[in-house]
Amino acid sequence: SPQSSTYVLQRGDVTGGPVFYAESVSVTREVLPGRSVDVAVEVVNERNTVTPLNPDYCDTGGFVSPDGLEATVTVNPLWTPGSDTQSVCVGPGGLLSPGRESLSFSYVAPEEAGSYPVDVTVESDTGGGTERFTVQVTEAAPPGREPPEGGENGGEEDEESGGIDIPGFD
Is residue 69 within 8 A of residue 58, CB to CB? The reply is: yes
Which of 18, 27, 17, 22 lies closest to 7 in space, CA to CA? Answer: 22
Which pTM does this prediction carry?
0.78
- What does the chain come to in residues? 170
Which of 36, 3, 35 lies closest to 22 in space, CA to CA? Answer: 3
| Cα dihedral sign, 9-14-16-22 | negative
- DSSP state at residue 7: G
**Looking at residues 75-104, what average pLDDT do you find?**
91
pLDDT tens track for 32-59: 999 999 999 999 999 888 889 999 999 8
**Looking at residues 17-31, what average pLDDT do you find?**
94
The amino acid at residue 114 is G
